[in-house]
Amino acid sequence: MRVVVQRVSQASVTVDSKIVADIQKGLLVLVGIEEADTQEDIDWLAGKIIKMRIFGDENDVMNCSVQDIDGNIIVVSQFTLHASTKKGNRPSYIKAAKPDFAIPMYENFVSAIEKEFGKKVQTGIFGADMKVSLLNDGPVTIVMDSKNRE
């Protein structure tokens, strides 16, 4: 499971000209799921994301988590995070999980984040053509892969 975590001042997701998610200060989490992912990957990433200290404290030092600042989270599925660009110019998405596996894993990931976070998480719509808007704060962008924990 691969995620891109972005610290944002504002983020939203629009589908068919309708805003389906909208937050102010918090995290925008893009998540890509592969067939080899398990509940262990979900739990590890959810814990890391919620506890990650990437928000400024009173001295503007990155010492606070999204919970500490009472921020919000949007989670968006993005199969292109598993693109392979080794051959040619057209990315291959062969490692990205098919919807019958990816959808329940995505839903479990959102639930695990909500459980760790203690409040509702907003989401995009799985498989939809989404327009994601964000104001990256910092910028702070962190990429994590549950298969590379060391």
Which active-site residues does the annotation give? 78-80
d(C-alpha 5, C-alpha 60), whole Å? 20
d(C-alpha 129, C-alpha 79), whole Å? 12
For residue 58, what are the contacts with CB-CB under 8 A and spacing of at least 6? none
d(C-alpha 8, C-alpha 23), whole Å? 9
- In three-state secondary structure terms, 107 is helix
Residue appearing with tokens 């994301």: 49
